[in-house]
Amino acid sequence: MDDKNTTDVNQLKDIIAQNLAAFRKNSGMTQQQLAEKINYSDKAVSKWERGDGLPDVLVLKQIADLYGITVNDLLTRHKRLPLTKMRLKTLVAKRWLVALVSVAAVWLLATLVTVIWLLVNKTAIPVAKYAYVIALPVTFVLLLIFSCLWSKLWVRCAMASLLMWSLCLLTFVFLNLTVANAGLVFLIGGAAQLLIVLWYLLRLFVLKDKQSKSLKPDEQAEEQS
C-alpha cells in the first residue's frame, strides 16, 4: 500500500514538473523571467521543472494566476495544453493582424484599379468609384469568414448583416444606372435582415438548449433558483 502511495506521489510530482515547464514555454518565458515574476531564483524554477522539488500551494496558485489557468491545470496530465492568458492574447493579436492585412489588401487592390483606370481615362472619375463599392462586400465576405472561424455568434450575425447591406448597396449603384426604382432593392435587404436576426435567435436558443442539457442536475437546480 505504501509503495502504491509512493508511486502515485512520484507520478504527481512528474506531472507537475512537466506542466510547469510546458506552461512556461507555452507562455514564451524563460526560467529567469518566471523567477523574477514570482520572486524566486531561476535555480528554484529549474529544480521544480526537473521534479527535484515542488513549490508550495501558494506559489502554484501564483504561477497558475500568472498563466491565466487553474492550479488543477498544473496537477493534471494534458494531451494538449490549455491556452494560457498570455498565449491567448498573442493568438487574438495574430488573428486581428491577419484580418486587418486581408482587408487592407482588398482596399489596396481597389485603389490600384481606380488609379490605373483614371490614368487610362481621366474622364472616368464617376466610373472609377465602383472599385470601392465592389471592395465593400468583398471586405465583409472576408470578415464573415474570419468571424465564422474565430468569433462568437453575434459577431457572425453582425458580419452577415453588413455583407448583406453592402451587397444591396452594390446592386443599387449598378441598377440605378438603368432602373428607375432601384431603391426597392433595400426592401429586399430589410427582409433579408429579418431572416438573419431570426437565424441568430434560433442558433442562440439551440446553443442554450445544448448547454442546459450538458449541465448536471444540481447545476440545473442552481440556474433555476
Identify the DSSP state of 225. Answer: -
Above 50 in pLDDT, residue 154? yes
**Residues in CB range of 210: below 8 A, 6 or more apart:** none
Give per-residue pLDDT as tens, 70-86: 888 888 887 776 666 66
Count of C-beta atoms within a 10 Å radius of residue 97: 10
22 contacts 80 by C-beta, under 8 angstroms: no
Q: Looking at the domain covering 2-75, what would its CATH class be?
A: mainly alpha
Give the angle subtended at the CA of 179 by the CAs of 178 and 185, to the nearest 5°: 130
110 contacts 129 by C-beta, under 8 angstroms: no
> What's the pLDDT at 213?
63
> What's the pLDDT at 4?
47
Through-space distance between the first and last CA atoms of the chain, rounded to whole angstroms: 45
**Mean pLDDT of the region 105-117:** 89
147 contacts 156 by C-beta, under 8 angstroms: yes
**Mean pLDDT of the region 128-149:** 88
91 contacts 150 by C-beta, under 8 angstroms: no
Mean pLDDT, the chain, rounded, equals 81
Above 90 in pLDDT, residue 139? yes
Q: Range with the lowest mean pLDDT among 24-38, 83-97, 124-138, 172-186?
A: 83-97
Of 215 and 175, more confident: 175
> What's the pLDDT at 114?
85
Q: In this prediction, what percent of the chain has a pLDDT beyond 90? A: 18
